[in-house]
Structure 1
Amino acid sequence: MGLFGTDGVRGRANQGNMTAEMALRLGAAAGRYFRREGDGAGHRVVIGKDTRLSGYMLENALTAGLTSTGMNVLLLGPVPTPAVGLLARSMRADLGVMISASHNPAEDNGIKFFGPDGFKLSDEAEAEIEAMVRDGVRLAQARNIGRAKRIDDGRGRYVEYVKTTIPTGMSLDGLKIVVDCANGASYRAAPDVLSELGATVIPVGVSPDGHNINDGVGSTHPEACAATVREAGADLGISLDGDADRVMILDAQGRVADGDQIMALFAVRWAEEGRLKGPALVATVMSNLGLERFVNGRGIDLHRTRVGDRYVVEEMRTGGFNLGGEQSGHIVMTDYATTGDGLIAGLQFAAEMVRTGRAAADLMHSFEPVPQKLTNVRYADGARPLDATEVKAAIAAAEDRLKGQGRLLIRASGTEPLIRVMAECEDEGLLQDVVAEVAGAVERAA
């Protein structure tokens, strides 16, 4: 069936796997999976969502499915994805669910699951739930059907927790910060955290209407934040995505630091303090070679994983590491959160500005990236462009040309029908050539 991708179930709302019927079946399957021991009472699940219009439909359908297997549902309303991981654990829930398609356009939506420990489910758990969706589940007896109620202070609990992640007594007083919430799940939480810690806050992307999430704003469109930073004379820009699990940092000139630069800063700082476990940093195959060289030169190992913050977290938990993330802006700090948290990462950067007395521009460029080019090629549903002979030949030729000079990475997105063609090479002319050749072959096959 192939329901689950790299970050839960995702697709176009009201089509394919993202219908109310499928959400109901997923809810029932997840409910039954987390109630293996029987039909006793006391099981609960927390559900959060971002600001997409389809969130209402999916929230109701998931609630119906979950209560049909005896789960009591606690509805958090719009909260960042990491808040669901936090609250699943702190509220002693058996399961957490986030309804969001993250940085995707408003027409898409997704469903992410968290276990009782606040971490995203393993591939094995998702495979079992998928099998239950396919085969059907045993429903609860009438007397054991679950209840549902809204939790009014879910966002407030998250806000209070986030503020505890910087040193007690530290204030952001004197900092002018632009925070871009992408018209998404953090549109109230992020400005609240920063202003309550003393910053002067200029909010962007805080007027969600169900259709404008990630539309020209947020971490995938940092130019909106950059323009406001320059106009307001701000010290710092924090640009979040639709569910606030990723971030881009901007300096006073509107220049952008991606996840690699943020991880480099934190890794070195934590290593100096003796609190970087390993000492190691966990990143994906997409992270720049410059990051690897930079941290290795400071005695820090770099462990690479498949793309997806869940795989970063799995490696961190296996190896006992506490810092990892993705170039795209997922920053995972397991001392504070169970998944990527853009708001906490942005707050940690602001705290470093306060601690050092240095400007954002002085902190956000730790290393010189190796030239890297990424081209995304969209393909039609059902197409398999990477199986085409022409594409295989183009990839082999590109790898041969790059041998000893750089690297090539070809992968299918786990969240969208895209083939990602990425290369790194010191020779920018060669870099442009090989990416264009491979992307062209994929386009013809797609």
Structure 2
Amino acid sequence: MGRSGWLLAGLLLVALNLRAPLTSLPPVVAQVSESLALTPAQAGLLTSVPVLCFALLTPPASVLIARIGPERAVLAAVAGVFVGQIVRSAGSSLPTALVGTAVLGAGITIGNVAVPVVIARDFRQRSAVVTGAYSAMMNVGSALATTLTVPLAALWGWQWALAGWAALAVVAFVAWGVTIRRSDDGAAGPSASGASGTTGTTGTTTAHRPHEGAPRRPHNGAPHRPHDGAPHLGRAMAVLTVLLCVAFAGQASSYYAVTAWLPEILQSRLGVDVVAAGGLAAPFQLCAVVGSLGAPIALGRRMPLRAVSLTLVVLWMALPAGMLLAPGATVLWVSLAGIAQGGNFTVIFMLIAQRAPSVAAARRASAVVQTVGYSFAALAPTVLGALRTASGGWTVPLLGVLAALTLMGATMAIATRPVRASGPAPGIA
């Protein structure tokens, strides 16, 4: 397997760790609350702190990545995920659990920013496919944690059940360490010595030109974009970044609001019990894998990017609209929205990877988009709950989700308009 294969395998193992620790807690939150004597508000902190970390720590994470390079940043991210899960599970008090949760959130935040930078640098020509695979693996980890944590807790208790997911971080840490070691060895080979490589304006090979802490050519063999170290977005990319900030705010807010409240919405509108509601809500996470992989496949078959994006928006909107108009078809609406949320995440970050004028610009744009998006996402579950309390039902909250998705759709329609570029056409990987 070549360097690009090792790199992709390492990224996918890392991706397994970037959502699983978040979704492992909700299924056993009642046991955690009883064991630690938590109030509902305190238990809510354990689920909201990671999203707050995404919003608050993305800018410093971006600075860290610029200083140490994306490879070492990914390694730090996985280490943070491991330590955070162990500390969160080992403590017998709320402060210890919160410290572990914050460390966990910080690790995931670094990974959220670093992985798209690696994709933008090393897989630009295949960014749609690789971003889709990355998103799909995050959802696989999420689904595994949601499904298996309760059985594990029944066997060994909630602390061991939550800590057990740290094993994935160990595997990812070792695999990524091997990956960057192999890459470093490859960079020291003939191409690094000047036998081959693209010559820059200074006359040095690209293997020697420093950028983002990783002085070597992309592993897929594609030439570097000019000025890999320049963080300037340029006018077109700045406009796109603003649009994607709005779009990702709608995407992330809707995702976390639906994830937090969908089981209760189903109980209220369908009259089912807790177990049945959990089963009906499961496709929202599981079907995201289909969307994450399906969007790049559709783009690879030359379907217009705007058409793919707007199709995903309509499928996303099917959930709130369907629950308002035809709740009897819940499984269909939940499945369609699951496909859409996975695919839409892929399209947003694929746009950054493909259209950023440099690797540093991709890092900067990704950090800005995630900071804005996760800031709104951190508030979304609370706002939806407040709307539920104020209105006395779920109609107004569902209309709120529908409004957020409508705004997201409008901005994605603008962001995905065709552009004239000398490089590969946007959306084609």
TM-score scaled by length of structure 1: 0.27
Structure with bigger helix share is 2
Structure with bigger strand share is 1
Between 1 and 2, higher relative CO (CA 8 Å, sep ≥ 6) is seen in 2
TM-score scaled by length of structure 2: 0.28
